[in-house]
């Protein structure tokens, strides 16, 4: 028999019942934080890998975290997953008057403006950039903060202006590094953070996802490192035994092969 959402809700209740699973009964909302984050990352990984079968499973795991957390809250006398679904349904209808109402949106940009306008009209909405979750990855949070500030006009006008600011921040980092030789490590860390934050805003102006771009750079480095290690082994050497010049030459060979 085909299972539906109601079966999943009943399953979560059964697991939390006195006669259910001891491990599931012991879990709290605090315990679920790491699980929710991990499952979200696994969904993203499945998307990036284009693994549809894996994506189906990971989406299910993420969905269950929502159901399970809602069940815990229901037991505490707050709300259940049915209330979560009802609120979500109403919000989606409310924020799409160009679909469910009399407004029209000629393109995606206009639809986004309508969505943002509806959010501004809603009571108890998250109004401040300080309410962007601290648990987000730092680069993603930095980009979201920049977007929020931009919505009220607090932003650069051109990407060239951001690039100029980046050069300024790098110069300040260099100055702090020189002072760091005399013990000003806190200044170095602060200036380094300013460089990264400005670089994230440059990514925003370039219409790039800073988190995704950095993730791609890490994956690229890992791939190149493994290839360099293989080539060193073919030469009868280990990377740690090679000079800086030899490693640099090997690295350039790997990059050249990629370009080829």
Looking at beta carbons, which pairs linking 89-96 to residues 24 or more positions away fall under 8 Å?
A: 94/118, 94/122, 95/119
Give per-residue pLDDT as tens, 181-213.
655 688 899 999 999 999 999 999 999 999 999
Contacts of 111 (CB under 8 A, 6+ apart): 98, 105
Report the distance separating Cα 28 and Cα 133, nearest Å. 20
Q: Which of 7-21, 149-163, 175-189 has the lowest mean pLDDT?
A: 175-189
Give per-residue pLDDT as tens, 81-126.
999 999 999 999 999 999 999 999 999 999 988 998 888 777 544 5
pLDDT value for 260? 76
Q: What percent of the chain lies above the pLDDT cut of 90?
A: 79
Q: Judge contact between 145 and 129, C-beta under 8 A.
A: yes
| Candidates 3.40.50.2000, 3.40.50.970, 3.30.160.60, 1.10.287.1080; CATH matching 132-208 | 1.10.287.1080
Instruction: Indicate the class that CATH gives domain 5-83.
Output: mainly alpha
Give per-residue pLDDT as tens, 25-74.
999 999 999 899 899 999 999 998 999 999 999 999 999 999 999 999 99
pLDDT value for 259? 86
Q: Is the pLDDT of residue 233 over 80?
A: yes
Helix (H, G, I), strand (E, B) or coil at 201: helix
Report the distance separating Cα 113 and Cα 131, nearest Å. 21
User: Helix %, strand %, coil % for the chain, to 5?
Assistant: 75, 0, 25
Report the distance separating Cα 209 and Cα 138, nearest Å. 12
Q: Is the pLDDT of residue 180 over 80?
A: no
pLDDT value for 134? 85
What is the pTM for the complete model shown?
Answer: 0.68
- Cβ neighbours around 76 below 10 Å, total: 10
Looking at beta carbons, which pairs linking 166-172 to residues 24 or more positions away fall under 8 Å?
A: 166/195, 166/198, 166/199, 166/202, 169/194, 169/195, 169/198, 170/195
| Mean pLDDT within 229-255 | 93
pLDDT value for 230? 94
Comparing 184 with 15, which gets the higher pLDDT? 15
Q: CATH 1.10.287.1080 in the chain, residues?
A: 5-83, 132-208
Average per-residue pLDDT in the chain?
92
């Amino acid at each position: 028999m085909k299972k539906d959402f109601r079966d999943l809700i009943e399953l979560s209740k059964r697991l939390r019942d006195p006669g259910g699973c001891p491990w599931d009964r012991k879990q709290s909302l605090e315990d679920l934080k790491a699980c929710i984050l991990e499952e979200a990352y696994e969904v993203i990984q499945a998307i990036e890998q284009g693994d549809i079968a894996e994506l189906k499973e990971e989406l299910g795991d993420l969905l269950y975290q929502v159901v399970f957390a809602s069940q815990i809250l229901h037991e505490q006398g707050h709300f259940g997953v049915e209330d979560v679904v009802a609120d979500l349904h109403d919000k989606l209808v409310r924020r799409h008057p160009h679909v469910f109402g009399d407004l029209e949106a000629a393109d995606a940009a206009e639809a986004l403006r309508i969505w943002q306008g509806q959010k501004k009209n809603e009571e108890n909405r998250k109004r401040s950039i300080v309410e962007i979750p601290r648990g987000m990855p730092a680069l993603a949070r930095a980009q979201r903060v920049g977007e929020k500030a931009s919505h009220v006009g607090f932003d650069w006008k051109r990407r060239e202006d951001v690039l100029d600011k980046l050069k300024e921040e790098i110069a300040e980092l260099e100055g702090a590094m020189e002072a760091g030789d005399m013990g000003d490590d806190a200044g170095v860390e602060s200036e380094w953070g300013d460089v990264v934050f400005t670089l994230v805003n440059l990514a925003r102006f370039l219409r790039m996802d800073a988190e995704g771009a950095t993730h791609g750079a890490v994956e690229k480095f890992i791939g190149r490192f493994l290839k360099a290690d293989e080539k060193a082994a073919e030469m009868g050497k280990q990377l740690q035994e090679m000079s800086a010049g030899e490693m640099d030459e090997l690295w350039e060979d790997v990059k050249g092969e990629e370009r080829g």
